[in-house]
Chains A and B, each alone.
Chain A
Amino acid sequence: MARLTLKNIGKSFGKTEVLKNISLDVEDGEFLSLVGQSGCGKSTLLRIISGLEAPSRGEILIDGQVVTEQSPKQRNIAMVFQDYALYPHMSVAENMAMPLIMSQLPLHARLPLVRHVAPSARRAKPSMATQVETVAKQLRIDHLLTRKPAQLSGGQRQRVALGRALVRNPGIFLMDEPLSNLDAKLRVEVRREISELHHSSGLTFVYVTHDQTEAMTMSDRVALMQGGEVLQVAAPNTLYTNPVSVDVARFIGSPQINILPVQSRPDGLFLGDFNLHLETIGKVSDLQLGLRPEALSFRGVAGLQLQPIKPGSIHLPFQKRMVEDLGPEILIHGCFEADPEIEIRVRAQKNTDYGKTDQFAGTHKLQVAIDPTQLLLFNAHGLRIQPTPHMAQSLGEVVT
């Protein structure tokens, strides 16, 4: 159990700055994910936390103690790697016992040859064996203890790697994309197991992934990284519904959010020459309007027997291009029909929002309705603008 604090961490490799002034707080027992595209610095940050890499600037504190200069061993952390990193010629039991041997036995009892006869090594053996067995039972790998890593499947190997990390009872549990090498089905299974492990152990977890689903489903909080900076740290749901910038909104959510370039004019918000009938800040400025695919629907479209139009919804002329049937829902790709011809993705529930599956089969020109309560506005630099009370009011008034 431990609390982790990062203060102004920076890291440069030669002239390239991979981490810029990162400060983070991870509470005791919290599950924090570091998410971002490859090359955003998330793995480097994890290596800095582990002590495998030294930061160029800044401080790392564990439970209030500065550990920046300490070796990984002294920090009492455990780490799980993407490719499992098991010791290839050792059995599962030996793999799991290694952290115990290294932390509990003095150097002379670990020397080659001497270690087979050293009394301290012999005395410690039974207690280590029980510790290994307990953890192995917990992870349901106790029947594999005599096997070598090469004889295990991917999921089993990852469990052994988890076991090796758990057995030493670490303060902080670090994971570097532990599910990337597993197939899709197993990934969901191990994901659940890691979540359970987090709840049962109560340890502090720092989890690196490029997969937003993993981050969103397991974490207490997610730190979204880009270009060596943390863009936003928040609970998964907050990150989705309340992103601080366009970059965050773009990264989180699949299918991706629609970003429309709009202009605020005194008489409303315009997409090209199309008036969205939304009042904004008044003065002329370029803005970006973020619309999640599910904030759009075909409700209230003329000629359809669907649910009644929501008050205040705005209709955009929409040119349909491609339809993807995902089972319960449908993904419709198309674009805004007038200038600018911007791409728009709509996610619709099959029957309530889109009618019967092939109701629009022959129709390509549609009206798409925007749910005004779900739109996100960003300024020209991509930073979020909270809707003003004035604007919120105008949203309720507009009726088409």
Chain B
Amino acid sequence: MSSISLSLRSYAPRSVWSLIGTLFLFLGAWVMVFPFIWMVSSSLKPTDEVYDANFSIIPRTFKGFENYYEVLFNQPYLIYLMNSFLVCCGILIVQLLTAVPAAYALAKLKFRGSSILFGTVIAALTIPINVTSIPIYVALAKTGLLDTYLAMMLPFFISVFAIFLFRQFFRGFPDSIIDAARVDGFSEMEIILRLVLPSAVPAIAAFSVFSFVAHWNDLYWPLIVVTSQDKMTATLSMMQYQSDFDTDYGRTFASATVVTAPMVIAFLFARRLFIRGITMTGVKG
């Protein structure tokens, strides 16, 4: 009983200002959540109702079954999910394999040109994928790699953002522990694997969440390099209901709902990791 009243009391506004603050937060939350509500609501409507100027959340004509049936069973939905999963995992694994040793070297090893290299990493942070996409596309086309899993993953294998993040995190690791390990006979790789990595679990978890979500939601790159249906990622599969002549918005929204669902469910389970990932990396979409 007391714990319930206690937790209720913690929700009660403490003053007028806190009430106003709460209202502002509520407004902000509404702005964030409303598109999702719109998405779910539209996914239950036929196309002409989606276009209707008289918007209502509850659909007048319920087309939910048709829309979702189409998305889940009239297309290889599980294949798309698996493709997304494979691509995201592949990217993440290689990103970690390359970024962790690079970050350790930049953070803890003394070598000629380390500051120039780190400067390059920072500079590379400012270059968006859109800038390099044409040369990468041409290279993939020339090597005949278009329309493969590798093509979807390759541009993201080296994440300068991960290198930067881990480097900052590793810098906080005490030098004396690394020295002690060297005296005890650890090799540099063993120092990374046995000492630095276990202490960097929060950073790695945060980055993994970040990378996974970013590439799950990525529409741009798969759209460019993938054409065949069996390689499509879940996000890309939404585009199938759009063509130059006719777009079935009900189905597109149903597809969007189904595609976002795994991430939303994952978020509910790993909310703390998500939040840490974003607070650690600063505010970034």
Contacts and interface: CB of A to CB of B under 8 A. Distances in A.
Interface of A: 47, 50-52, 71-73, 77-79, 81-83, 85-89, 98-99, 102-103, 110, 112, 164, 168
B193 A85 contact: no
Interface string B140-161: 0000000000000000000000
B226 interface: no
Contacts of B199: 88-89
B183 A73 contact: yes
B177 A52 contact: no
Given A82-B176, A85-B177, A72 B183 contact: yes
7 contacts: A50-B183, A73-B185, A82-B176, A85-B179, A98-B186, A99-B184, A99-B185
A73 B184 CA distance: 6
B176 A85 contact: yes
B180 A79 contact: yes
B118 to A, nearest CB: 19
Contacts of B183: 50-52, 72-73, 77-79
A83 B181 CA distance: 14
A89 B198 contact: yes
A88 B181 CA distance: 12
Contacts of A71: 182
Contact of B185 (A52, A82, A86, A103): A103
B177 A87 contact: yes
Interface of B: 174, 176-177, 179-186, 190, 193-195, 198-199
Contacts, number: 57
Nearest to B186: A102
Given A87-B195, A110-B190, A102 B185 contact: yes
A71 B187 CA distance: 11
Contact of A79 (B174, B179, B193): B179
Contacts of B185: 72-73, 99, 102-103
A394 B219 CA distance: 99
A118 B182 CA distance: 23
Given A88-B199, A98-B186, A102-B184, 11 more contacts: A47-B179, A78-B183, A79-B183, A82-B176, A85-B174, A86-B177, A87-B194, A98-B181, A102-B186, A102-B190, A168-B184
Contacts of A110: 190
A164 B185 CA distance: 12
Contacts of B198: 89
B181 A52 contact: no
Nearest to A73: B185
A85 B176 CA distance: 6
Contacts of A99: 184-185
A172 to B, nearest CB: 11
Nearest to B187: A107
A78 B185 CA distance: 10
A102 B187 CA distance: 9
B56 to A, nearest CB: 56
Contacts of A87: 177, 180-181, 194-195
A52 B176 contact: no
B187 to A, nearest CB: 8
The 7 closest A-B pairs by CB, nearest first: A102-B185, A73-B185, A85-B180, A85-B176, A99-B184, A81-B176, A72-B183
Contacts of B184: 73, 98-99, 102, 164, 168
Contacts of A81: 176, 179-180
Contact of B177 (A47, A88, A102, A112): A88
Contact of A83 (B174, B182, B190, B194): B174
A78 B176 CA distance: 13
Contacts of B190: 102, 110
A201 B183 CA distance: 20
Nearest to A168: B184
Question: Which one of A79, A87, A103, A164 has the highest number of Cβ atoms from chain B below 10 Å of its Cβ?
Answer: A87
Contacts of A112: 193
A81 B199 CA distance: 20
A4 to B, nearest CB: 15
A210 B181 CA distance: 25
Contacts of A82: 176
A38 to B, nearest CB: 16
Contacts of B182: 52, 71-73
B154 to A, nearest CB: 27
Contacts of B195: 87
A302 to B, nearest CB: 59
Question: Which one of B176, B180, B181 has the highest number of Cβ atoms from chain A below 10 Å of its Cβ?
Answer: B180
A47 B198 CA distance: 26
A35 B209 CA distance: 51
A264 to B, nearest CB: 51
A47 B174 CA distance: 16
Nearest to B175: A85
A77 to B, nearest CB: 7
A233 B199 CA distance: 43
A52 B184 CA distance: 11
Nearest to B180: A85
A51 B198 CA distance: 26
Nearest to A102: B185
B9 to A, nearest CB: 35
A190 B283 CA distance: 49
A87 B179 CA distance: 11
B174 A52 contact: no
B129 to A, nearest CB: 33
A79 B181 CA distance: 10
Contacts of A164: 180, 184
A102 B183 CA distance: 10
Nearest to A165: B183
A21 B193 CA distance: 39
Contacts of A52: 179, 182-183
Contact of B176 (A83, A98, A102): A83
Question: Which one of A47, A79, A164 has the highest number of Cβ atoms from chain B below 10 Å of its Cβ?
Answer: A79
B1 to A, nearest CB: 36
